Amino acid sequence: MFGTIASNLASNTDNLTTPLTINGERLMQMMTEVGAIGALPNGGVRRLAFSPEDREARQLVQSWMEAAGMTVTIDAAANLIGRYEGRFPHAPALVTGSHLDTVPNAGIYDGTYGVLAGVEIARTLHDHGMRPDHPIEVIVFADEERTMIGSKAMAGKAKLDPNFYDHPHYEPIEIGLNYIGGDWSNLPSAQRNTDGLAAFVELHVEQGPVLEAAGSPMGLVTGIVGQRRYLIDIEGQASHAGTTPMAMRQDALVAASQVILAVNRIGQKTGDGYGDQVATVGAMKLSPNVANTIPGRVEMTLDIRDLSNQRLDAMMAELEQEMGAIATHTDTQIHLKLQLRNEPIPVSSHIYNTIAQVCEHLELPVQSLPSRASHDAQIIASITDMGMIFVPSQGGISHSETEYTSPEHCIQGANILLHTLLELDQHYRCPEAMDDITHSTTGDTPRAI
């Protein structure tokens, strides 16, 4: 099947004998040009959501979308949507994309790569005068790094109270959205009808070391892990560091240290279904934080992630049991408060299998792995079928100026995405296409522009 799809899409005079490929040089040039917007002296990029740099990058990408023959719209959530029309405009769209906003000190790949690969795919189809049956959309989601407001609004999951998004270092979200073309007052209109979407496939750099350690194959994402974030509050008794005997102390920091070690042990468990989980204490505040005073209180965060809710439940049950024992042993009180819960999202099996088949036909080695980072894909998965493709990250580094993925891997990933979309174009048969196939038994199928 794979060998005929690109040929079927081509005009009668364009007889393709090899798989269609994107223009790799053009893709990497686009990466360089967008990477220059918000460039920092250390080689990194700072393109915060709703900033002038964010707006400039979006305008540049919009111009490339238009050059690829796409119609461009911006919805109320400031999602920038380029649509490459298919042969059957009323068919549900095949969608790809990611985000252009960054953390304060980022590299040039995170998010941006997935957007530009989608644009390059549209440009490649346009260059060859080709139309798939379904429309192809490339979406630049708004503010992925902080609020994910773009994908949440599109999925109908955004909170409508602007105060919910307040942050001391950001302007009000309604002002930010409006600045880059959105309309906060009409935010619910950004929600998409599931009937209009056939599937969403996000191409992304791994942001971790697994693929490189395995010899840098392409990544077949099995799902996006569930994430739970807690605040752990440990109450002891502050007292004089010199006059309080060791056996009579209620040292909150000692208790916190034991909790951290328990978290680490649970995060490293293997066997009985364990092995994909991670567990991290990432932030801590102690009081009174004075050199000659025993800490009386510690607040710290806990972040745990896994593809299975059952394992997450088991991890937390084990940790709570250990925290109870630690509290008794240290004569402290330990309280746990849930702050964030994102459910695990498996990818659609037929999209996973399609990506695997494409990699096999392109003779590219693959490795299955979960995504342990959050992505717009996990939000969009609530309204359509979802899949993800990873390309290796050198050193597993991301959210840093040293983030790097080779041009070879960037181009390979974009070609995988191209042919995955073309395969899915055949998988999701729309009624108009079926009628056309029936009629084409006595004539050519007109798929050229």
pLDDT of residue 435: 59
In this predicted structure, which of 13-17, 187-191, 273-277, 370-374 has the lowest mean pLDDT? Answer: 13-17
Find the mean pLDDT for residues 201-224. Answer: 97
The whole-angstrom separation of Cα 388 and Cα 352 is 8
Identify the band that residue 433 occupies on the pLDDT scale cut at 50, 70 and 90: low
Question: For 278-294, what is each residue's pLDDT tens digit?
Answer: 999 999 999 999 999 99
Residue 17 has pLDDT above 70, yes or no: no
Q: Is the pLDDT at 275 greater than 80, yes or no?
A: no
* 43-74 confidence digits (pLDDT tens): 999 999 999 999 999 999 999 999 999 999 99
DSSP category for residue 190: G
Residue 15: predicted pLDDT: 38
Predicted confidence at residue 13, as pLDDT, reads: 32
Give the residue-averaged pLDDT of 250-265: 98
d(CA 253, CA 262): 14
Q: Distance of alpha carbon 182 from its chain centroid, rounded?
A: 21
Question: For residue 24, how far is the Cα from the chain centroid?
Answer: 23
What local confidence, expressed as pLDDT, does residue 436 receive?
58
Name the token pair of 29: 């040039």
As to burial, measured by CB atoms within 10 angstroms (0-12 exposed, 13-18 middle, 19+ buried), residue 367 is middle
pLDDT of residue 342: 86
Residue position matching structure tokens 């649509």: 83
* pLDDT band of 6, cuts 50, 70, 90: very low
What's residue 447's pLDDT?
41
| pLDDT bucket at 434, cuts 50 / 70 / 90 | low
* Closest by Cα among 155, 138, 82, 205 to 382: 155
- Residues of the chain with pLDDT > 70, as a percent, come to 92
d(CA 395, CA 38): 24
Which residues, in sequence order, are CB contacts of 1 under 8 Å at separation 6+? 423, 426
Q: Is 88's pLDDT higher than 80? A: yes
Question: Are 54 and 106 in contact, with CB atoms under 8 Å apart?
Answer: no
d(CA 126, CA 398): 32
pLDDT above 90 for 417: yes
Average pLDDT over residues 195-216: 97
When pLDDT is averaged across residues 206-219 and rounded to a whole number, the result is 96
Q: What is the pLDDT of residue 365?
A: 97
Q: Where are the domains of the chain?
A: 2-224+345-442, 228-342
Where do we find the tokens 């077949």?
Answer: 220
Class of the CATH-defined domain 228-342: alpha beta
How confident is the model over 183-199, as a mean pLDDT? Answer: 97
Average pLDDT taken over every residue of the chain: 92
> What is 2-224+345-442's CATH number?
3.40.630.10
**Which is more confidently placed, 271 or 436?**
271
pLDDT tens readout for residues 350-387: 999 999 999 999 999 999 999 999 999 999 999 999 99
> For residue range 94-108, what is the model confidence (pLDDT) as tens digits?
999 999 999 999 999
Mean pLDDT, residues 154-158: 97
- In angstroms and rounded to an integer, the radius of gyration of the C-alpha atoms of the chain is 25
Mean local confidence (pLDDT), 196-211: 97
At 110 the pLDDT is 97
Residue 423 clears pLDDT 70, i.e. is over it: yes
Q: Is the pLDDT of residue 8 over 50?
A: no
Q: What are phi and psi of 333, to 5 degrees?
A: -115, 135
Model pLDDT, residue 444: 40
Does the pTM of the predicted model rise above 0.85?
Answer: yes
